[in-house]
Structure formats: structure tokens, C-alpha cells
Structure 1
């Protein structure tokens, strides 16, 4: 069943903390502190409204090299943002510090707080941005394409038996993700359930001797945030006793418009590794 709605029905436009936003009027100046959402802003045709971004906002490279940097996702340069005089600030609950956002909210009129937890949540995200920045038609095009990618992922999940996997994001100490994370939700969409099933932290350290390790069918080494590469394959295989494969971290962890290619990538990877 399609999720598509007429752009007229997109109101009210509420963000992740319930703040209601109105369609932007007059000059729009956007600062994005979220790499994947900076990419979404550009894919919605709003690159010319983007006046600031973090150093981690790298896609699309040809466009963003002309956009000023305002620090990182966690260490934002407040004065640099102030000088850009943004009308809108895009932030994320997991990626940006609350105290930083509150400081910026003192002089940025509109702060859009995001928190997609599953790939499907991107549909609401597209429509929120489409409504706020008055590009609803383009947002609906992205919704349609994402629905197709989600359907492809669901088909793979139905076609193949579910598997439990370990997804590594860091080394020294070894760290993974729990099922409450967006990464875990993207993998689950194609039939890969991350281990451990429960943990006290969202990004727990890995105990290679844990009882649940025996249930893992394979281990993934993500390309980010730690830069795992093929030189780590033998090391992890020796520790885990399981098949080990590289995985593109952007495809598994970036929401926004990257989720479209991400779902297709994971569906193809699931089929290739079966």
C-alpha cells in the first residue's frame, strides 16, 4: 500500500520533539549539522539555500565544497553559525549535543529536530522537509522511490531465512550496535538481526566469549565510524570463528535520501552472501 499523500495534506509539520513548523517564507538560509540530512537537503533541490554544514557533511562533494564548515557534529563553532545568520537549523537527537542545540536555538529562528529510527521513518522525514521548505513535489518523488527500495528489501527478507549477525563499528575496544539503533533496523529490513539482542548501552563493547556469539552466522566490518578494511578480516575471523565480510557503513547507517540506495545495497548484499 502506498504511503503517498497530496502535499496539501502534509500539515501539521511536526519534528521529532513535537515542534510544529510552518512553511518557510522569504529568504531561507539553512545550516545542517547532520551529514545524511545535508545530502537530503541537496537532493530536495535546496543546495542554494544551504549556507553552513559540518566537516563530516561530504555528500554531494561537488556541491558541498563551496559551503562553509561550522565544525563537527559534536563540536559546533557557535560563532561561525551566528555569522551565517541561518533561518533554519537541522539537527539530530543522536548526532548533536543537546546543550549545543539549545545555545544555537537562542538565535536561530527555526530548529528542526530529527530522529529517524527505522528506514520507513524517512518517509515522514522527506515530507517534513518538503513541507517546511516548500518542495513537497520533490519530496513525494523521493517517497515513491524509497517505497520501491523498501519493497525490494522486504522481498529479500521473505525469500531468505533470517540470520543473526554481529556488526562491528569500532576496534580497541571492539564495539557493536544494539537493536534499538537505526543501523540495526536497516539490517533487519533485509532479514539480518543484530547481536546482542539486548544490552545496557546502544553501542556496547563486544565480549567474544559471550553465549550469544554462537548464534552469529557472520560478522560485518563497517567502513565507518572506524575505518575497517580487508586487513582486519583475518583478525576478526580468528576472534569470532565466523565468516567475516566488509560492509559500507554509509549504506547501513545514513538516513535521508541515502536510505534509498542503502536499502538496495543491503538487499543485493544479502542475496550475494547467502
Structure 2
């Protein structure tokens, strides 16, 4: 019997390496695939779009906010992976009375590394997890040389009607920071609602429109540009900013290109 503490301070006990894993977190589902746990993963959510083959072939247990207890009971998992922010507390507490549930709470790069290593340890994939975490750490250390000497003030929108942004204590805020961007709404908590006027008064030089959870498009840039003529407005890949796990590896090259593009536009 082995005991593992999750990132919310709770502990679970596993007799052996799990053989029937359910993931309720899209980014951690992709991590399980990277850790070569194809046979072990028996259930995922409808939002676990990577890898695409799993979305087509694995049992779906509902969404991140509305898990299907009956399907989970039928699958009889010996490990469920959840997340403090993405899943509903009451649903996770109920599942915890029946199955081992390990809950992540990722707010920055360091806690992302810890999540990767712990899941690797729990599933018997410690070697692969260590290699992945080391590669990500190396890549992010190199990213500093691409970052601007003075942080560029930026805003980051995740929703429309009402507009919502990211505040401090979020993984996205940490990603912006390591890229050399200064989140103009970092003093606010979590995911606050804001107005066009708030953006105008924030002093941001660039405004990023995320591809998720709201699917911002070019038409939204056109609409906002009329209100914010002096601000660089750019569509960004939300998965690169918010998917902690193996997605962080390709995110490094994406961030390098983004930094260069923003610097080029802002300096002209």
C-alpha cells in the first residue's frame, strides 16, 4: 500500500499501480497519453480533445462540470484524476467516498512540475515523467533569453458578454509573466469581469484574445480595435497558456514566436 498526497492536501492510498484510470481534466488526459498509459485509461470527459484518438475510442464520463456518476460506477476506476479549479467540489467529494481521487491545483510552473512527477509516480511512469518535466524546465529556462528586457503590459481575455480576464494566482498569469508580459489585471483575483473602459484605463499595450474557453475570432479583433485603436490585439492559442502538463513542451516554441511577434509590432 502506497500513500500519495494530492495538491489540495488530501491523501489517497493505492495498493498497486492503477489499471483503471479516469481523467476529469483535459490537460491531464493528454499527460496520461504522453506517459504511455493507453490501456490503463478507461474514461475521459467530452472536453478531453487530445489525443483525438482517445476522444473517439475512450468511454466519456460527461463534462468537467457535470460528471456522470453512473458511468463512472460502471467503469470501477482504481484512480480518478481531478482538478480543484476545473471540477465541481461537491462532485469530487462524492466520488472520493467511493474511489481514490487525486486532485491537482496548478497555479504556476512549479506546481505543474509537481503534478507531472506525482502522476508519474502514482502510475509507474516515473522515468517518463521525470524526462518530460526536465525537458519542460530546460525549455522554459531558455525562454528568458527571448523575453523583452522590460515587461510589456498586456491584457488577456477568456470570455465575452461579459468580458472576463485572468487575475493573479492563475496558471495563465504565470505563463504571461515567464514570457516577459505584465498582466495589467494581476492585482485582481482569479477570473474577474471587466469592461472596455477597464481595458482603456489599464495601460495595456497588447490585448490577447484566447481561443478558449470563449472561441474569439478575427471579427472580435475588428470590433475591439475600434474601441482600442492604440492597442495591439492578437488571437492566441488558449491551450498553450492554460494546459499544464505535456502541452507545456510545445508551448515553449509557441511562446518564443509570440514574444517576437509582439515585440516587432510594439516597437514599430
Q: What does residue range 226-265 of structure 1 map to in structure 2 within 5 Å?
A: 226-241=214-229, 242-265=231-254
Equivalent residue for 1:113?
A: 103
Deviation per CA, 1:39-64, whole angstroms, max 9, x where unpaired?
A: 00110011211111110001010233
Match of 1:217 in 2: 205
For the pair 1:272 / 2:257, whether they are aligned, the reply is: no
CA RMSD across the alignment: 1.9
Question: Cα deviations across residues 129-155 of structure 1 (Å, max 9, x unaligned)?
Answer: 111111111111101211122112222
- C-alpha distance in 2, partners of 1:245/1:211? 15
Q: Give the direction of change, closer, same or farther, for the CA distance of 1:131–1:79 in structure 2 (3 Å limit).
A: same
Q: 1:119 offset after TM fit, Å?
A: 2.1
Q: TM-score, length-normalised on structure 1?
A: 0.89
CA, structure 1 residues 14+155, in 2 after alignment: closer, same or farther (shift >3 Å)? Answer: farther
Aligned to 2:161: 172
Is the alpha carbon distance of 1:23 and 1:147 closer, same or farther for their aligned partners in structure 2, counting shifts above 3 Å? farther
Does the 8 Å CA contact 1:24/1:134 hold for their aligned counterparts?
A: no
What pairs with 1:141-152 in structure 2 (closer than 5 Å)?
141-152=131-142
Separation in 2, partners of 1:132, 1:24 = 10
Partner of 2:118: 128
Does 2:6 align with 1:15?
Answer: yes
Equivalent pair of 2:82/2:102 in contact (CA under 8 Å): yes
Aligned: 1:67 with 2:58: yes
Equivalent position of 2:27 in the other structure: 36
Q: Which has the larger share of strand? A: 2
SS in 2 for 1:226: coil
For residues 53-104 of structure 1, give each alpha carbon's deviation from its aligned partner in whole angstroms, at most 9, with x where no partner exists.
1100010102331101011000111111110000000000000011001111
Q: Is the 8 A contact 2:151 2:182 kept in 1?
A: yes
Whether the 8 Å CA contact 1:21–1:132 is kept in 2: the answer is: no
Query: Does 1:203 pair with 2:194?
Result: no
User: Is residue 24–residue 132 contact of structure 1 (8 Å, CA) maintained in 2?
Assistant: no
